[in-house]
């Protein structure tokens, strides 16, 4: 592991550069950004303030904390896990060991859901369910764009629901949300205009080969999709139609090679699948959308 220098009495800028250099040497993909984020988290400074206070000197306590953060990053822990939060859709989300770190690919689900709303003809008072809500990222991102919508987040993990509820309160959406401990939709009553989900979809045998940041630091329950990676989609496709209003949509994130299989499940469940599939920034089919007939 690349050694971390003693940063006591160093300036903010010198410390940032030292960390970026060590992260570069360790082969970390975004060394400059990671260094800035860890310095910012240590000193409670945003990126603009880091520049403005570049010549300020770290206290011994600040230096010790920053060095501990850097050691964790060099050991493969994601920055979001270290600082306990992650930005998604321009919003900041607190995390816990029971929640996935929201990723840019998942913003594709939000984009697809907003396009569905735009073209569906549903009233503004949309009812949304986010299955496996985790930190609440997808649901709360949608509510930030749909001021008259309400949402229900489900998760099997009580700890994840507590984090999602806290994020809803922090972002000002607590009056438009509720959170239910549920295995998929089994404990949920009523119908929705839109159901969204980023379920576990990694094949069990593939988890060991994932990047260290994912394999060792993400909750396994949020990754493991069973032997073929499709277990969650079977449950979602079986349960969603009876929880959808006529014309309502089921929109899910999928793994890189799963779109066709998930589309077939939706069609078997009686949903009309939208093609072509929505692709992410890497041009991978990332979102599959099914619509209930009758509207």
Q: What is the DSSP code string of 215-250? A: HTTS-GGGTB--TTS-HHHHHHHHHHHHHEEEEEEE
CA angle 188, 171, 133 (to 5 degrees): 30
CB neighbour list of residue 61: distance below 8 Å, 6 or more residues apart: none
Q: Tell me, what's the pLDDT at 8? A: 75
Q: Tell me, what's the pLDDT at 47? A: 85
Domains of the chain in start order, with CATH, are: 12-83 (1.10.8.10), 96-292 (3.40.50.150)
CB neighbour list of residue 46: distance below 8 Å, 6 or more residues apart: 40
Q: Are 12 and 53 in contact (CB under 8 A)?
A: yes
pTM: 0.93
Cα distances from 103 to residues 42, 89, 198, 214, in angstroms, run 23, 10, 11, 11
Q: Tell me, what's the pLDDT at 20? A: 96
* Exposure on the CB side of residue 161, measured as CA atoms within 13 A: 15
Task: For the chain, give the number of residues.
Answer: 295
Q: Tell me, what's the pLDDT at 295? A: 66
Q: Alpha-carbon distance 222 to 37, whole Å?
A: 25
Phi, psi dihedral angles at 248 (to 5 degrees):
-70, 160
Average pLDDT by consecutive 10-residue portion of the chain (295 residues)? 71 95 94 96 93 94 94 95 96 97 96 94 87 98 96 97 98 98 95 97 97 94 97 97 96 97 98 96 96 86
CA angle 266, 270, 271 (to 5 degrees): 55
- Dihedral in degrees, nearest 10, Cα atoms 78, 81, 82, 88: 90
* Residue with tokens 């945003």, as numbered in its chain: 46
| Segment holding 267, helix H or strand E | helix 259-268
Q: Tell me, what's the pLDDT at 1? A: 47
Q: Alpha-carbon distance 249 to 114, whole Å?
A: 11
């Amino acid at each position: 592991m690349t050694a971390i220098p003693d940063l006591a009495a160093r300036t903010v800028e010198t410390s940032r550069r030292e960390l970026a250099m060590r992260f570069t040497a360790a082969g970390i993909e975004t060394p400059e950004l990671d260094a800035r984020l860890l310095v910012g988290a240590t000193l409670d400074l945003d990126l603009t303030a880091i520049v403005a206070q570049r010549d300020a000197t770290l206290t011994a306590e600040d230096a010790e904390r920053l060095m501990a953060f850097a050691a964790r990053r060099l050991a493969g822990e994601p920055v979001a896990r270290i600082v306990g939060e992650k930005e998604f859709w321009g919003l900041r989300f607190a995390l816990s060991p029971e929640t996935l770190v929201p990723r840019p690919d998942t913003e594709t689900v939000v984009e697809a859901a907003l396009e569905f709303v735009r073209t569906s003809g549903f009233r503004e008072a949309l009812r949304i369910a986010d299955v496996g809500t985790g930190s609440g990222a997808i649901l709360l991102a949608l509510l930030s764009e749909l001021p008259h919508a309400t949402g229900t987040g489900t998760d099997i993990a009580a700890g994840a629901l507590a984090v999602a509820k806290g994020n809803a309160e922090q972002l000002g959406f607590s009056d438009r949300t509720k959170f239910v401990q549920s295995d998929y939709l089994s404990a949920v009553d009523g119908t929705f205009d839109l159901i969204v989900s980023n379920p576990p979809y990694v094949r069990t045998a593939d988890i060991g080969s994932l990047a260290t940041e994912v394999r060792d630091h993400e909750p396994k329950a949020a990754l493991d999709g069973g032997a073929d990676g499709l277990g969650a989609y079977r449950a979602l496709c079986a349960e969603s139609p009876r929880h959808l209003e006529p014309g309502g949509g089921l929109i899910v994130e999928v793994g890189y090679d799963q779109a066709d299989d998930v589309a077939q499940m939706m069609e078997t469940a009686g949903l009309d699948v939208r093609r072509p599939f929505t692709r992410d920034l890497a041009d991978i089919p990332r979102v599959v959308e099914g619509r209930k007939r009758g509207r």
